[in-house]
Amino acid sequence: MGAMSEEGRSVRLTIPARAEYITLGRLALTAIAGVRPLSDETLHDLKLALTEACTNSVKHAYGEDGGSIDIVYELLSDRLAVEVGDAGAGFEPNGGRRGGAGEDELLEEGGLGIEIIRALTDEVEIAEREGGGSRLRFVKLLD
């Protein structure tokens, strides 16, 4: 796995920003979850949240030329944090993508994905990524 710290383990995965590669992110999550067994329901919720976060980047971050999505998984003793980042148009936490969809359009085009992530996880943070783009980080507290 990736970098190891006293508190937990961290793994970084970079995938092309294309829908067919999201499965790799889900497979990595399943493998990481095997380090600290999770209930089937928790793993399912995390995989759905990850899929929604990655789908937002695939649909909204890049134009025809595409780009990449960085996924960082951080497994701590009491939580699993996942951060999905891209170098695309950038995300406005209160609405749509900068220079892109307005709030109504975002909801029509899958903007409900963020609400799904909020419903499935314990913490959600959306921010600009250093160097441009956006990042969405979610945390699931573990029993």
Domain residue spans of the chain: 8-141
User: What dihedral do alpha carbons 128, 13, 48, 84 form, nearest 10°?
Assistant: 0
C-alpha 76/C-alpha 36 separation (Å) is: 9
* Distances, alpha carbon 115 to alpha carbons 107, 121, 128, in Å: 10, 10, 19
The reported pLDDT for the residue numbered 7 is 56
The reported pLDDT for the residue numbered 103 is 42
pTM: 0.80
The reported pLDDT for the residue numbered 25 is 97
Query: Does domain 8-141 match CATH 3.40.50.80?
Result: no
The reported pLDDT for the residue numbered 90 is 60
C-alpha 115/C-alpha 94 separation (Å) is: 12
Helices (H), the chain: 22-33, 40-60, 103-106, 112-120
The reported pLDDT for the residue numbered 106 is 42
User: Quick one: CA dihedral 102, 82, 45, 62, positive or negative?
Assistant: positive
Query: CA-based angle 80:81:85, to the nearest 5?
Result: 150
Closest-CA residue to 140 (of 123, 126, 119): 123
The reported pLDDT for the residue numbered 112 is 80
- Average pLDDT per block of 10 residues along the chain, 143 residues long: 54 95 96 88 96 92 87 93 89 47 43 89 92 93 88
Q: Provide the token pair at 57.
A: 């980047």
Q: In what order do the strands lie in the sheet with 68-76?
A: 8-16, 68-76, 79-86, 134-141, 123-128
